[in-house]
Amino acid sequence: MYNRATLKNGIRVIYEYIPYVKSVSVGVWVGVGSRYETPANSGISHFIEHMLFKGTKKRSAKDIAEEMDFYGGQINAFTSKEYTCFYTKTLDTHLDLSVDLLSDMYYNSVFNPQDIETERKVIIEEINMYEDSPEDLVHDLLIEKAWDGDPLAMPISGTVESVSGITRDMILSYMDKFYTPQNTVIAVAGSFDEEKLIPLLEEKFNVLRPSYNLSPFSIPEFKGG
């Protein structure tokens, strides 16, 4: 049986205690993906996903990776059309580390200009490799045709042209608009002390960011083939 709660700053929490496991998974889900982009910033949600692993005010990219590796945990992320997720999987004794690490990435990523340029090259190479794969490319072409004229038609990774034009200011502005408490859900599942979970999340995710009224989407028209 899962439970729901809302932190004081508006972040929603959904959690399920599973007594027969010795691990815990924590996911930070942000309601933003490629559907929220424009042709000019196409791929920015995915770009931000990459950048949150590149260092915070108190952790380097190496620190982020090594902290999880040291305890045998996993940390990863993915971007979809409508949401972005950052998550950890650890033994149940390391919930505090997971929450501290994810909150640090969420609130304190520095977006170093040099790292942005390095990651831009990585993402462009990913796009080129993707476009060189017939199986992957035909899927994107199908989606582009099916949702022609709607943001759903745009590729999650963006294009070489759009990714080349993404700036640090664009990233920070996009973060301010979408990485808000009202647009974030934290999901926790596994073995953990239910009485301590919400106080821990309140402590680490206690920053109150301004909230934007996001315009509802119009119903997309499926164009077919």
- The residues assigned a catalytic role are 49
One-letter amino acid at 164 equals S
Strand partners, 175: none
User: In this structure, are residues 123 and 47 in contact, taking their beta carbons and an 8 Å threshold?
Assistant: yes
Question: What DSSP character marks residue 32?
Answer: -
Return the SS3 of 87. strand
One-letter amino acid at 9 equals N
The continuous run of DSSP H or E covering 75 comes out as strand 74-79
Strand partners, 29: 85, 185
Q: Which residues contact 164 (CB under 8 A, 6 or more apart)?
A: 120, 124
User: In this structure, are residues 23 and 191 in contact, taking their beta carbons and an 8 Å threshold?
Assistant: yes
Counting beta carbons within 10 angstroms of the beta carbon of residue 105, is it exposed (0 to 12), middle (13 to 18) or buried (19 or more)?
Answer: buried
What values do phi and psi take at 5, rounded to 5? -155, 165
